[in-house]
């Protein structure tokens, strides 16, 4: 039996042993510069295992022996990101990159290039974005990007990736040298090309299904319910940014990357810093040339404004930052033959011609179909059944037919004529510009998609109403429009396959909850063509209720910033339909209600209150964070991601985080959501 003094010595020895193994893992997996032999590493690891076996009470979550060991899960949980993981605006033309630079300078008031704007350029890894949460230096939570607001919590799988530290190093450059109490690290999980080929070879030898490309392999690997399967896959990780960092402030993106490297993360060796956008454009060409020599897939570069202060001033629009963009490489192309042309009917009734192809591999994926966009494009390109065509994956993702190799025609090719009747419901088809559109209000093809949209996260967010349930409701003629959902009974739902009493009640509860919403969410849920959640928020800010919006004129609509002629005409057309009035009446009978904010961007008294003010949001508030940001920005204010002496208001919702503490320390005014709403309505 070891005495207390002896046990403390053992505890310290085990801690030193773990520290040594963490260091050698970093040398081997991150730096690729091992300092000891594999045999010596194995000896250290075995010694740690023996000690932990003898003293199980001394095992810690960050021990190298604990990378794999959790039991398989039945399902993944969700994780709400404290700061949204924004998507990037993508461009593929040099002129668009120069336009981006011009917009940045104009927004910052630096037209003509008088002030220096540095850019950091990073490779755009073709992997999966992840967030890692470290508490006091130890990995606590790992999650996928998801929709940017909420991801899947896959901590036990991310723990198996050797280039993700279980415990981060102390920052020798800091005053204390102690890890931060909270650090959110963003990065990309991927599988190196060479190891991907080895993985597919091994799967093939076992007779198992092989992966189409490294990205699919990485996605399939990190979402395994059994972490032992994930651990068997050659996953890697590059860090590229941070979210919250309690006790640490950064002045530049370059400083963020240097910090991440210091505390043990793997950073892409292709990252560069440039003083002009021209240098960034040149580097794009340089990286494109060496793209096929790299051991990981990239589909472009990411250009970021280096200064964090400038990033905060620039902010974001919709769900993309103004201070960064993805400069994509040209899509990969291949040749194949068109076997047939079919028509798909989308959520808004748009008829899209689609080429059914002889299967062809492009960029690691086997392509069977490719979009022809619309009737005008079909005619312009003169695509016929039997043609040999050039196919590309636009943005390396969406396959499309680029052109026809007319020299290969034999005379047996057949022209395709777009139908005058909907191929799904048989209703009349009208032509609006280049688009043919089904006007059938009960078209099943539209109905399923309309209901999916109506129930989606950024619309009415009806939990439990999944795709399989919606398909059954439509197929069994239990609903004829989205509002019919509110008239379903428990007995109705119990008629569905694999539907138990508890699940049925959960759906009914979610439906009841969704009846009480915001005007912007309700507008978005209606599925008006060209009206996404951002435009819906704009409309909600300018019209007090649905009746005001319904009675709006063309001039009323186009005078709103970001609402152009096409969007205005689409809104007018939607409300002109008799079926829309029936839907609104039914909605009222169902008891759907919404908050009537009626902010109105033209209210000068409100603008005077917010003009030039900086807001920071923390915790959970009832409206989407981007909606709140949009209101502030349209009323002349700014939204920052962190609290500083320049912050005017901190809006604190439920479960407010460290920003509250920072605001208290700096003496920044803290208000709740109710006060925020009063402030933006003040006259």
For residue 295, CA distances in Å to 191, 216, 230 come to 9, 16, 20
439 compared with 248, residue with greater pLDDT = 248
481-529 pLDDT per residue, tens:
899 999 999 999 999 998 999 999 999 999 999 999 989 889 999 888 7
CB 592 within 8 Å of CB 517? yes
Whether the predicted pLDDT of 549 surpasses 80: yes
Q: Enter the pTM of the model.
A: 0.57
- Can you give the pLDDT at residue 174? 53
Within 8 A by CB and 6+ apart from 358, the residues are 336, 337, 339
CB 461 within 8 Å of CB 514? yes
DSSP 470-533: HHHHHHTTS-SSGGGGGG--HHHHHTSTT--HHHHHHHHHHHHHHTEEEHHHHHHHTT-TT--H
Mean local confidence (pLDDT), 30-47: 74
251-276 pLDDT per residue, tens:
999 999 999 999 999 999 999 999 99
298-318 pLDDT per residue, tens:
989 999 999 999 999 998 876
Q: Nearest 5°: CA angle at 79, between 235 and 135?
A: 75
Q: In what order do the strands lie in the sheet with 138-144?
A: 77-80, 150-153, 138-144, 128-135, 182-190, 236-245
Mean local confidence (pLDDT), 267-295: 92
Which residues have a catalytic role annotated?
124
> What domains appear along the chain, each with residue ranges and CATH number?
4-66 (1.10.287.610), 101-328 (3.30.470.30), 333-435 (2.40.50.140), 444-514 (1.10.150.20), 518-595 (1.10.150.20), 604-681 (3.40.50.10190)
Q: Is 242 left (phi over 0), alpha (psi -120 to 50) or beta?
A: beta
Read off the DSSP letter of residue 241. Answer: E
Query: How is residue 173 written in tokens?
Result: 């450059």
185 compared with 198, residue with greater pLDDT = 185
- Can you give the pLDDT at residue 450? 86
Where are the alpha helices (H) located in 36-149, listed in sequence order? 38-54, 94-107
Q: Nearest 5°: CA angle at 61, between 56 and 67?
A: 100
Split at pLDDT 50, 70, 90, the class of 32 is low
390-432 pLDDT per residue, tens:
998 755 557 889 889 999 999 999 999 999 988 988 877 888 8
CB 271 within 8 Å of CB 121? yes
83-120 pLDDT per residue, tens:
888 888 888 889 999 999 999 998 888 644 445 799 99
- Can you give the pLDDT at residue 112? 46
CB 534 within 8 Å of CB 626? yes
**Residue 345 φ/ψ, nearest 5 degrees:** -110, 120
- Can you give the pLDDT at residue 58? 81
């Amino acid at each position: 039996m070891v005495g207390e003094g002896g046990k403390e010595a053992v505890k310290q020895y085990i801690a030193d042993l773990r520290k040594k193994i963490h260091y050698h893992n970093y040398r081997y997996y991150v730096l690729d510069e091992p300092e000891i032999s594999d045999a010596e590493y194995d000896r250290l690891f075995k010694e740690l295992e023996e000690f932990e076996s003898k003293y199980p009470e001394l095992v810690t979550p960050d021990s190298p022996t604990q990378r794999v060991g959790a039991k398989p899960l039945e399902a993944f949980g969700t994780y709400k990101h404290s700061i949204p993981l924004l998507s990037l605006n993508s461009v593929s033309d040099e002129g668009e990159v120069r336009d981006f630079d011009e917009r940045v300078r104009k927004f910052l008031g630096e037209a003509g290039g008088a002030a220096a704007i540095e850019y950091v350029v990073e490779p755009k890894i073709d992997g999966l974005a992840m967030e890692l949460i470290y508490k006091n230096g130890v990995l606590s939570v790992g999650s996928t990007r998801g929709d940017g607001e909420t991801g899947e919590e896959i901590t036990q799988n991310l723990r198996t990736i050797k280039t993700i530290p279980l415990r981060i190093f102390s920052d020798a450059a800091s005053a204390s040298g102690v890890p931060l109490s909270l650090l959110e690290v963003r990065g990309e999980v991927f599988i190196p090309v060479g190891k991907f080929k080895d993985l597919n070879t091994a799967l093939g030898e076992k007779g198992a299904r092989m992966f189409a490309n490294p990205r699919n392999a990485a996605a399939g690997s990190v979402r395994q319910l059994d972490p032992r399967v994930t651990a068997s896959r050659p996953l890697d990780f590059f860090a590229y940014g941070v979210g919250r960092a309690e006790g640490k402030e950064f002045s530049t993106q370059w400083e963020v990357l240097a910090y991440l490297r210091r505390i043990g993360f793997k950073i892409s060796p292709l990252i560069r810093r440039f003083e002009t956008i021209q240098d960034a454009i040149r580097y794009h060409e340089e990286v494109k040339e060496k793209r096929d020599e790299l051991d990981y897939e990239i589909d472009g570069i990411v250009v970021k404004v280096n200064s964090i202060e400038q990033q905060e001033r620039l902010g974001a629009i919709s769900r993309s930052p103004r201070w960064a963009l993805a400069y994509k490489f040209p899509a990969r192309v291949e040749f194949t033959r068109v076997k047939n042309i079919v028509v798909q009917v989308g959520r808004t009734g748009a008829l899209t011609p689609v080429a059914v192809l002889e299967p062809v591999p492009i960029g690691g994926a086997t392509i069977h179909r490719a979009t022809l966009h619309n009737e005008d494009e079909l005619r312009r390109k003169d695509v016929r059944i039997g043609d040999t065509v050039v196919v590309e994956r636009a943005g390396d993702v969406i396959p499309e037919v680029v052109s026809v190799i007319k020299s290969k025609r034999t005379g047996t090719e057949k022209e395709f004529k777009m139908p005058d009747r909907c191929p799904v419901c048989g209703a009349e088809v009208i032509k609006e510009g280049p688009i043919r559109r089904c006007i059938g209000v009960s078209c099943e093809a539209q109905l399923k998609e309309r209901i999916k949209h109506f129930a989606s996260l950024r619309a009415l967010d009806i939990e439990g109403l999944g795709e399989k349930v919606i398909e059954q409701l439509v197929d069994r003629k239990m609903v004829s429009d989205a509002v019919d959902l509110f008239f379903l009974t428990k007995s109705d739902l119990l008629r569905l396959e694999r539907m138990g009493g508890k699940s049925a009640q959960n759906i009914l509860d979610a439906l009841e909850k969704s009846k009480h919403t915001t005007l912007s969410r309700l507008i978005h849920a209606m599925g008006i063509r060209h009206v996404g959640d951002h435009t819906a928020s704009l409309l909600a800010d300018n019209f007090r209720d649905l009746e005001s919006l319904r009675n709006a004129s063309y001039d009323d609509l186009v005078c709103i910033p970001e609402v152009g002629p096409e969007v205005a005409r689409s809104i007018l057309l939607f409300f002109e339909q008799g079926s829309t009035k029936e839907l609104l009446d039914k909605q009222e009978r169902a008891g759907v209600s919404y908050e009537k904010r009626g902010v109105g961007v033209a209210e000068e008294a409100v603008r005077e209150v917010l003009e030039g003010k900086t807001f920071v949001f923390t915790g959970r508030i009832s409206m989407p964070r981007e909606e709140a940001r949009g209101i502030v920005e349209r009323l002349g204010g700014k939204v920052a991601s962190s609290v500083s002496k320049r912050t005017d208001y901190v809006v604190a919702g439920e479960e407010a985080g460290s920003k509250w503490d920072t605001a208290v320390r700096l003496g920044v005014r803290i208000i709740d959501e109710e006060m925020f709403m009063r402030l933006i309505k003040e006259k």
